[in-house]
């Protein structure tokens, strides 16, 4: 069927085609291929899977991967929930500030953050040096290269991704519900437990799913901070993919990992879609209620009835007030967690200015020597320049393709929109190592391994996902009546888009571009697979450096990379302010 440009405008659904096409070619086909490979096509047998499970070492690593991911998720939830609660309950201004403080580490390079933990936890690191100087210990404590360090590093990386969905769900919980519960005799904790907590469960679920699946595929931090015993399946897959050419065995391992991720998503995320829909008769039961035999909780609650009755009588109309202690503990805890999130970055930035031959904290003298060493070493500056160029092209591609897709999806029915969105964000929702292997395989076919174009294609896949999500969120708030208004004033579809739609959704597009840029600039797992040893991006150079020798120059690099999110935040803020001012201009003094 031929599609004329005019009908393209009438049926904007077609605009999502470029995004779908690139996903299909660079990821869909290869992963199908990979799957067939793992099934030993064309003979079709489960031999490779059998071989995988026949090795006890594999099973141990698999179990360990799930265990580390689950525990890291649990810790993130345990720490993140109270912090999210605190943020959601804060005043508007404080909330904005706290969200920014949570987002800054999220936008900071993963490698820079992981490196920071090496500096803090290492044998010659901040904590050990401090304790030794204080005379508390004589030999360094084993703080790094063990499971504990893995959890510290992973939780640090994952916390923002736990906190942000929680905050967004919690902010949607009507405060008057808690007041209502109290007015009916529920003490503050009962009001929280019976009303707030159940309503926050969707946030708990999306946060946990996000963190768990990311943990499954993300091996940089465990590999840097853990010992040899703390290997993850993804480490294993990455090593196999680059060292051996037995694609089928690697593929089988990758699909085992993907299988676990999909299983968990299916088990806990199956009703993600239906939760938003207006259908459904009975309310969904809480996770706890689903795990425990039905009625047990009810019976436990019922047994407290006489006690409740006597307390109600005893306390009726008695003066008192809610204890301030929980609130203060919460504030203190939130402060500590935010410090935990920001501290490593601060340490690295301060250390990068140290004047000695080693990195020290606090530095005994100040110098710019490591920055000098960075800028005078062509292997560093070259890598940085490569990364910037790649990220810029990726940001451009992903933003254009992603925005077109988002626009198309915003004009589609909810079912199509849901399905296509889910498809387009696959590269950022399944374990990254699986994406890496598939893309690697795809690029091999086109002879693009080790080329800039190859890396750009690989990064664009994930970057499109971010762009689509962010632009779509902006479009969801866009009032389509404005377009009709413009058309009623004789503006054609193109002009309407250029003069009305585009300016209004521009902040979202810019946000999408920022995320696309950061995604590419920070990407290391997929890059390490498709760079083919010949091309060095900045994260790859850092990663190599961290594994082989700790060159203090890396502190300067990490500091420079931490500057990036700050620049982005300022850019977004300025853009937002300009947008606000523009919006306020026409009617002069509003809110006065």
Which residue number, 244 or 274, has a Cβ lying nearer to other proteins? 274
What is the smallest separation between the CB atom of 306 and other proteins, expressed in angstroms?
7
Between 189 and 385, whose beta carbon lies closer to other proteins?
A: 189
- The reply to whether 55 sits near other proteins by the rule CB under 8 A is no
Binding residue for other proteins (CB under 8 A) from 305, 447, 488, 534? 305
**Across the strands, what pairs with 263?**
none
Q: Which of 1, 228, 282, 585 binds other proteins (CB under 8 A)?
A: 282
**Among the listed residues 129, 130, 125, 134, the one whose alpha carbon sits nearest the alpha carbon of residue 153:** 125
Name the residue nearer to other proteins (CB basis): 266 or 316.
316
Burial (CB < 10 A; 0-12, 13-18, 19+), residue 483, is middle
Nearer to other proteins by C-beta: 323 or 480? 323
Answer yes or no whether residue 310 interacts with other proteins by CB under 8 A. Answer: yes
When asked if residue 92 is in the footprint of other proteins (CB under 8 A), the reply is no
Decide if residue 316 touches other proteins (CB under 8 A): yes
Numbers of helices and strands, H then E, in the chain: 32, 0
139 vs 321, beta carbon nearer other proteins: 321
SS3 for 390-407 is HHHHHHHHHHHHHHHHHH
Instruction: Examine residue 306 and tell whether it contacts other proteins (CB under 8 A).
Output: yes
Specify the DSSP element, H or E, that contains 415.
helix 414-424
The answer to whether 311 contacts other proteins (rule: CB under 8 A) is yes
From 39-47, 160-168, 297-305, 365-373, span contacting other proteins (CB under 8 A): 297-305
Give the range of 15-23, 282-290, 370-378, 482-490 binding other proteins by CB under 8 A.
282-290
d(C-alpha 461, C-alpha 459), whole Å:
5
Cβ(217)–Cβ(211) below 8 Å: no
Tell the smallest beta-carbon distance from residue 179 to other proteins (Å).
Answer: 6
- Taking CB under 8 A as the rule, which mask of x and - marks residues 241-280 in contact with other proteins? -------------------------------------x--
Measured at the alpha carbon of residue 395, what is the angle toward residues 530 and 404, in degrees to the nearest 5?
A: 115
Kindly state the smallest distance separating residue 207's Cβ from other proteins, in Å.
18
Measured from the CB of residue 504, what is the shortest distance to other proteins in angstroms?
30
Work out which of 307, 586, 587, 589 binds other proteins, going by CB under 8 A. Answer: 307
* Among positions 321, 415, 490, 581, the unique one binding other proteins when judged by CB under 8 A: 321
Provide the minimum distance between the beta carbon of 177 and other proteins in the complex, in angstroms, as a whole number: 5
Count residues binding other proteins (CB under 8 A): 43
CA distance 179 to 181: 5
- Residue 313 CB, shortest distance to other proteins, in Å, is 8
3-state secondary structure of 138: coil
What span, in angstroms and rounded, lies between the C-alpha atoms of 560 and 565?
A: 10
In the complex, minimum distance from the CB of residue 400 to other proteins, in angstroms, rounded to a whole number: 39
Residue 123 or residue 315: which is nearer to other proteins going by CB? 315
547 touching other proteins, by CB under 8 A: no
Show the tokens assigned to 205: 């679920």
Quote the DSSP letter at residue 96: H
592 interacts with other proteins by CB under 8 A:
no
Whether the Cβ atoms of residue 80 and residue 328 lie closer than 8 Å to each other: no
Q: How far apart are CA 421 and CA 428, in angstroms?
A: 12
Q: How far is the CB of 295 from other proteins (least distance, A)?
A: 11
Exactly one of 94, 137, 180, 422 binds other proteins (CB under 8 A); that residue is: 180
Minimum distance, C-beta of residue 181 to other proteins, in the bound complex (Å): 7
Q: What is the CA radius of gyration of the chain?
A: 26
Distance CA 267, CA 497 (A): 41
* Smallest gap from residue 422 Cβ to other proteins (A): 25
Task: Establish if 308 lies at the interface with other proteins (CB under 8 A).
Answer: yes
With CB under 8 A as the contact rule, the residue among 124, 179, 453, 580 that binds other proteins is 179
CA 36 to chain centre: 30
Residues in the chain: 592
- 548 touches other proteins by CB under 8 A: no
Interface residue with other proteins among 259, 273, 295, 301 (CB under 8 A) is: 301
Shortest reach from residue 201's CB to other proteins, in Å: 9
Nearest to 374 by CA among 127, 563, 108, 105: 563
Q: How many CB atoms lie within 10 A of CB 90?
A: 17
CA 15 distance to own-chain centroid: 27
* Choice between 168 and 451, CB closer to other proteins: 168
Q: Please, what is the angle between helix 197-217 and helix 432-445, to 10°?
A: 40
Among residues 135, 320, 586, 589, which is the contact residue for other proteins, using CB under 8 A? 320
Per CB under 8 A, 302 contacts other proteins? yes
Distances (CA, A) of 573 to 100, 510, 557, 579, 588: 11, 11, 25, 10, 22
**Helix residue ranges per DSSP H, 218-295:** 220-225, 233-243, 247-269, 272-276, 287-291
Q: Should residue 571 be labelled a site residue for other proteins when binding is judged by CB under 8 A?
A: no
Interacting residues of 407 by C-beta distance below 8 A, sequence separation 6+: 12, 15, 471, 475, 501
Q: Cβ of 64: how many Cβ atoms within 10 Å?
A: 18
- Helix or strand holding residue 113 (H, E): helix 110-121
Count CB neighbours of 189 within 10 A: 11
322 binds other proteins (CB under 8 A): yes
**Residue 82 Cβ vs other proteins, minimum distance, rounded to whole Å:** 21
Please report whether residue 584 would count as binding other proteins according to CB under 8 A.
no
Q: How far is the CB of 197 from other proteins (least distance, A)?
A: 10
Cβ nearer to other proteins, comparing 132 with 285: 285
Do residues 200 and 286 lie in contact, with contact meaning Cβ atoms separated by under 8 Å?
no
Q: How far is the CB of 529 from other proteins (least distance, A)?
A: 45
Cα 364 to Cα 44: distance, rounded to the nearest angstrom: 65
Residue 325 within binding range of other proteins, rule CB under 8 A: no
Applying CB under 8 A, the residues found at the interface with other proteins are: 174, 176-177, 179-188, 190-191, 194-195, 198-199, 278, 281-284, 301-302, 304-312, 315-322
């Amino acid at each position: 069927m031929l599609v004329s440009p005019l009908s393209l405008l009438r049926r904007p659904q077609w605009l999502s085609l470029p995004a779908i096409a690139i996903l299909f070619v660079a990821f869909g086909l290869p992963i199908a291929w990979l799957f067939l490979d793992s099934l030993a096509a064309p003979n079709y047998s489960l031999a490779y899977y059998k071989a995988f499970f026949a090795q006890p070492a594999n099973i141990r690593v698999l179990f360990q991967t799930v265990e580390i991911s689950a525990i890291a998720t649990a810790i993130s939830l345990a720490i993140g929930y109270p912090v999210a609660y605190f943020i959601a309950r804060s005043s508007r201004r404080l909330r904005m500030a706290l969200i920014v403080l949570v987002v800054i580490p999220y936008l900071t390079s993963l490698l820079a953050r992981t490196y920071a933990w090496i500096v803090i936890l290492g044998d010659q690191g901040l904590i050990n040096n401090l304790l030794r100087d204080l005379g508390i210990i004589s030999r360094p404590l084993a703080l790094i290269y063990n499971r504990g360090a893995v959890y510290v590093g992973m939780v640090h990386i994952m916390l923002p991704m736990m906190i942000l969905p929680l905050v967004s769900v919690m902010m949607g919980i009507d405060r008057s519900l808690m007041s209502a519960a109290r007015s009916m005799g529920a003490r503050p904790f009962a009001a929280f437990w019976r009303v707030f907590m159940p309503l926050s469960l969707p946030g708990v679920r999306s946060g946990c799913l996000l963190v768990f699946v990311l943990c499954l595929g993300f091996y940089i931090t465990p590999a840097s901070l853990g010992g040899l015993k703390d290997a993850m399946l993804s480490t294993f897959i990455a090593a196999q993919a680059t060292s051996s050419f037995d694609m089928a065995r690697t593929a089988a391992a990758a699909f085992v990992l993907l299988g676990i991720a999909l299983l968990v998503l299916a088990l806990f995320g199956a009703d993600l879609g239906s939760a938003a829909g207006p259908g459904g008769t009975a309310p969904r039961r809480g996770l706890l209620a689903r795990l425990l035999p039905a009625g047990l909780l009810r019976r436990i609650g019922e047994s407290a009835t006489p006690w409740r009755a006597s307390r109600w009588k005893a306390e009726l109309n008695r003066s008192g007030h809610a204890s301030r202690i929980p609130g203060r503990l919460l504030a203190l805890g939130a402060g500590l967690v935010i410090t935990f999130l920001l501290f490593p970055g601060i340490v690295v930035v301060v250390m990068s200015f140290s004047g000695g031959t080693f990195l020290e904290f606090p530095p005994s003298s100040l110098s710019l020597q490591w920055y000098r060493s960075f800028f005078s070493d062509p292997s560093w500056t070259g890598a940085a320049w490569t990364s910037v160029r790649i990220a810029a092209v990726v940001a451009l591609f992903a933003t254009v393709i992603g925005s077109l897709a988002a626009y198309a999806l915003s004009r589609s029915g909810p079912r199509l929109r849901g399905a296509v969105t889910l498809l387009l964000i696959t590269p950022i929702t399944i374990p990254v190592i699986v994406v890496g292997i598939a893309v690697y395989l795809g690029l091999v076919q086109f002879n693009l391994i080790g080329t800039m174009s190859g890396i750009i294609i690989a990064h664009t896949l994930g970057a499109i996902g971010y762009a689509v999500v962010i632009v779509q969120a902006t479009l969801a708030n866009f009032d389509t009546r404005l377009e009709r208004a413009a058309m009623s004033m004789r503006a054609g579809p193109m002009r309407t888009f250029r003069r009305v739609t585009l300016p209004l959704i521009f902040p979202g597009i810019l946000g999408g571009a920022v995320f696309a840029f950061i995604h590419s600039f920070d990407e290391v797992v997929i890059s390490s697979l498709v760079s083919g040893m010949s091309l060095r991006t900045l994260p790859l150079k850092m990663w190599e450096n961290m594994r082989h020798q700790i060159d203090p120059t890396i502190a300067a690099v990490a500091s420079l990379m931490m500057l990036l999110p700050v620049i982005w935040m300022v850019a977004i803020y300025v853009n937002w302010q300009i947008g606000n001012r523009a919006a306020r201009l026409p009617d002069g003094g509003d809110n006065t």
